[in-house]
Amino acid sequence: MPAHSTDTVNVLVPCGALGIGVKERDVFSALFGAHAIACDAGSTDSGPAYLATGRAKYSRDAVKHDLSILMRAQAKAGIPLLIGSCGTSGCDEALDWTRDIALEIAREHGLQPRIALLYSEQSGERMAAKARAGRISPLAPMNDSEPQRFRACDHIVALMGPEPYAAALEAGADIVLGGRTTDTAVLAAVPLMRGAGAGAAWHAGKIAECGSLCTTHPREGGVMIRVGRDDFTVEPLGAHNQCTVETVHSHMLYENSDPFLLHEPGGILDVTAARYRAVGDRIVHVTGSVFRRQPYTMKLEGASGTGYQTIMLVGIQDRDVLGNLDRFIAHMQDVLVDRVRETMGERAGAFDISLRAYGWNAVSGRQVDAHAAPPREIGLLFVATAQTQEIATQIAKTCNPWFFHLPLNAGQELPSYAFPFSPAEVERGRVYEFRLNHVVHVEDPMELVRTAFLETREAVHA
Amino acid sequence: MPKLSEVCSHVRSKNAGPFWITLDLWFSDSASFERYAAAPSLQPAAIGERFGVDPSLVKYFAMPDLRVVKISYPRARPQGGAVERDMHGGQQYVQLLDMEL
């Protein structure tokens, strides 16, 4: 296949995540020849807080900046714009947040696109019923599907495949804003609906999911994928950027536990036999990707709040302490826990005190080699976790004099370690946890998806 | 026996979803890859022990075209939560660098 074959389906992928920074010039100069613009706006990678609260990771201004460029490009070229996993988590609240930004942009620029909204948030009760009916399977390392697990989530989302996007486009949508979707599906949707090969479409979607991460300049905007029957190409949008066989092939490693098999709704992408070939010095051509159909499943993500945390930080340069750090920290842990138990008793409830010595072993938590030289300075972080914010703060305040003034050895003059803040304690807020690593078996790809259409012609004047 | 950092040009770690961490090891040349890709210290038993997880769940892949060994292991606890130390898992590779092959 030549690099610019006329019988490919071409998707402009402007960025790895909406809100990370779309380049207007790159998008508009690549518009000609694109059949769709598609990108992703979400991830679990920054932790459970975004799903548990429904709030987005990126700022509203950053998302509006990117979405404005893409909506104006959509209007200019008259091609569909698809955005998956809106508002980071892709739950209903996050999708509505993105919808409101889109309406504001439409109003400000006099645009009148027909917008489809794909909701894929699920109620805990409904998923608990699915679990009872044996329709939910755990994924390793999790090994149970207890119904209570689903009820305990604040938000649950089911990851959509490409079908709801195709259905919305067939129903006349210009822009599709999706709830949680697999990164690959939102990019593969238009190639699949226009008859490109399934193996090529899914593989192209995987390679382009993080925009220019599959290029030699990972922070340089996006890429264009051109998908045929049995092959595809990937090319950077930036004129001075390059895709190489190494950068494209290596992307199969990225945030993927298996570099050959990728489980998607409705099948498995198998790239074991894929071949990567350079076309000139900017484009890579890929063949041999296979998509094997399987019974349709949707991955579930769920999160909820648990305890609350209050933290304190202290800097230590005392050489005697640093020469005996492990003994000092173990001693402090005992002293602080005893102090809380004695002072607060039952009122402290189930609590945890975690001491993390930055500059020593905070990142791994592993024992440092006994022969290691002492550090020059450490930052010692105190983290109290308790059932309410008020109790976590009371625990921190109870520990305050010991955390800041504990001598290495009994009988020494009281030291003062270097604490930077007054008041010393910082209320960090709630702790969130991921609770689900499951798939739900569905009758068809639309069973758990709710589609709504928005006529901006009316909405912007409302 | 060489250390991992002596035969690899690039080593990284990252989340693969909230429940897994994946390690990518780029060997410096084909000779190093051929000689050390199958080293016992990179196999599931050793990796499981090092990161405190069930070895039967650890995945190991050799990718000769890229001169890469990829190892994935389940997190002892899901990403986030009260005792998270490395939200992206992006620093976990460092403890492998001095490992003898």
Out of A259, A307, A383, the one facing B61 most closely (by C-beta) is A259
Size of interface A-B (CB pairs under 8 A): 104
Dihedral sign (CA A337, A397, A405, B81): positive
Inter-chain residue contact B22 with A256, CB threshold 8 Å: yes
User: Sorting pLDDT into bands at 50, 70 and 90, what band is A459?
Assistant: low
Is 90 exceeded by the pLDDT of residue A297?
Answer: yes
Which tens digit of pLDDT belongs to each residue from A27-59? 999 999 999 999 999 999 999 999 999 999 999
ipTM over 0.90: yes
- Which secondary-structure segment (H or E) carries B68? strand B68-74
What kind and span of H or E run contains A73?
Answer: helix A60-77
Q: Do A246 and B66 count as a contact with CB atoms less than 8 A apart?
A: yes
Q: Is A255 close to B59, i.e. CB distance below 8 A? A: no
For residues A289 and A275, what is the distance between their CA atoms, to the nearest angstrom? 8
The confidence score (pLDDT) of residue A3 equals 45
pLDDT at A456: 79
**d(C-alpha A237, C-alpha A222), whole Å:** 6
Type of residue numbered A235 = E
Asked if the Cβ–Cβ distance from B94 to A44 is below 8 Å, we say no
The dihedral over CA atoms of B82, A89, B11, A361, expressed in degrees to the nearest 10, equals -10
CA angle A330, A335, A341 (to 5 degrees): 130
DSSP A17: S
What average pLDDT does this structure show over B82-88? 94
Task: Give the pLDDT of residue A458.
Answer: 63
Over residues A344-348, mean pLDDT: 97
- What's residue A220's pLDDT? 84
Check B78 against A49: CB less than 8 A apart: no
Place of tokens 């998806």: A449
Of A456 and B54, the one with more pLDDT? B54
Q: Which of B9, B25, B79, B96 to mutate to test the interface with A (most CBs of A within 10 A)?
A: B79
pLDDT at A317: 98
CB-based contact, B40 to chain A, within 8 Å: no
Residues facing residue A284 across a β-bridge: A234, A278
Tokens of A196: 């490109």
Q: Between β-strands A136-138 and A267-270, what pairing exists: parallel, antiparallel or unpaired?
A: unpaired
Structure tokens at A317: 């340069």
Beta bridge partners of A60: none
Residues 150-189 of chain A with CB under 8 A from chain B are none
Residue-wise pLDDT for A373-414, tens only, equals 999 999 999 999 999 999 999 999 999 999 999 999 998 999
Interval A269-287 mean pLDDT: 98
Tell whether A419 lies on the interface with B, counting CB pairs under 8 A. Answer: no
Interface of B with A in 73-92 (CB under 8 A): 74-75, 78-88, 91-92
Q: Is A389 on the interface with B (CB under 8 A)?
A: no
Is A270 in a helix, a strand, or coil? Answer: strand
Q: What is the pLDDT of residue A219?
A: 87
Using a CB-CB cut-off of 8 Å, the residues of chain B touching A365 are: 85
Please provide the average confidence, as pLDDT, over all residues in chain A: 96
Q: How many CB atoms lie within 10 A of CB A252?
A: 23
* In the predicted structure, residue A461 carries a pLDDT above the cut 60: no
The residues facing A42 across adjacent strands are A88
A181 beta partners: A160
pLDDT(A5) > 90: no
Among residues A140, A44, A433, A382, the alpha carbon closest in space to that of B80 is found at A433
| Alpha carbon separation from A213 to A95, A235, A242, A259, A344 (Å, rounded) | 25, 12, 11, 16, 51
A354 and B83 within 8 Å at the Cβ level: the answer is yes
User: What is the predicted pLDDT for the residue at A460?
Assistant: 54
Residue A194 banded pLDDT, cuts 50, 70, 90 = very high
Question: Does B35 contact chain A (CB < 8 Å)?
Answer: no
Bridge partners (DSSP) of residue B20 are: B74
Whether the predicted model's global pTM rises above the 0.90 cut = yes
